[in-house]
Amino acid sequence: MVVRRCLIMMCVFMLSACSSNSRPFDIKNLAKSDMDLITDIHIAEVRSLTRSLMIKLYKRNPRELAKVPNQTVTSRLDAVMTIERPVYGYPELGYVDGVDALHLAFAERFEGDRVFALMVGVTGMLSSSYNHQLEFFILDDIDQQKLYNSARNLETVAWLLNTREDEKGELLLLGNGLTLDGTPNYSFERTLGQMIIIQDMMAKMVSDSTNRAINQVVHGVASMTFFPI
């Protein structure tokens, strides 16, 4: 118990140091356990990384935003980062959300904004892994398997971003590449890697704190398999 508490507090300290947002004392925190506090910090951090990923994807793939008139990066961010998502999915994507949108983003037949489809999928999946909550309190529960599955899905996203091509042999979405001086740019890989680490860390801590096992699976990223959340 002491070791687990120390681990949690160390994670709180490290994530707090990485976060640009200060967290002053709030009276509502008295209704939070140590796990609730660390969960809140993880949620804030993964949402920050998600925003960064979406902005970078639009910078690398301006043609995707151009497919939809009267839209900006800001309006697209607002549409996917909201906690109050469309009940029946996004009309623009054929009324899908979450994992279903991930399949759409890498489907050759899809002619819409692939960045939007991808980020609807990523944000919907991550939101589901945290029960569509932005903060947790003592009586709230969280599923370690959803967190674990979301990490595996992010691995698949990273793989497909680097490998999924159209019939002409061109990548469906541009991610990692070379800078103007020829230096490799792995910023997309780093951002997704950080998101994967956060989800895996949360899954492990929840599993340890609740004594509920994680069903670890053999995961072939090349198969374009996304696990349900």
pLDDT of residue 12: 47
Contact 38, 13 (CB under 8 A): no
Q: What local confidence, expressed as pLDDT, does residue 95 receive?
A: 97
d(CA 187, CA 53): 9
Q: Which tokens sit at 58?
A: 């639009």
In degrees to the nearest 10, what's the CA dihedral of 165, 168, 169, 173? -40
The 10 Å Cβ neighbour count of residue 173 is 20
Predicted pLDDT at 184: 78
Are 219 and 155 a contacting pair, CB within 8 Å? Answer: yes
| Rounded Cα distance, 169 and 172, in Å | 9
Q: What local confidence, expressed as pLDDT, does residue 62 receive?
A: 96
| CB distance 35 to 11 below 8 Å | no
**pTM confidence score:** 0.85
- Of 194, 178, 174, 195, give the one whose Cα is nearest residue 186: 178
Q: What is the pLDDT along the chain (229 residues), one digit of tens a residue?
A: 444 444 454 454 454 444 445 556 566 666 788 899 999 999 999 999 999 999 999 999 999 999 999 999 999 999 999 989 999 999 999 999 999 999 999 999 999 999 999 999 999 999 999 999 999 998 899 999 999 999 999 999 999 999 999 999 999 999 987 665 667 778 999 999 999 999 999 999 999 999 999 998 766 655 668 999 9
Are the CB atoms for 65 and 41 separated by under 8 Å? no
Predicted local confidence at residue 20, as pLDDT: 45
**3-class DSSP state of 49:** helix
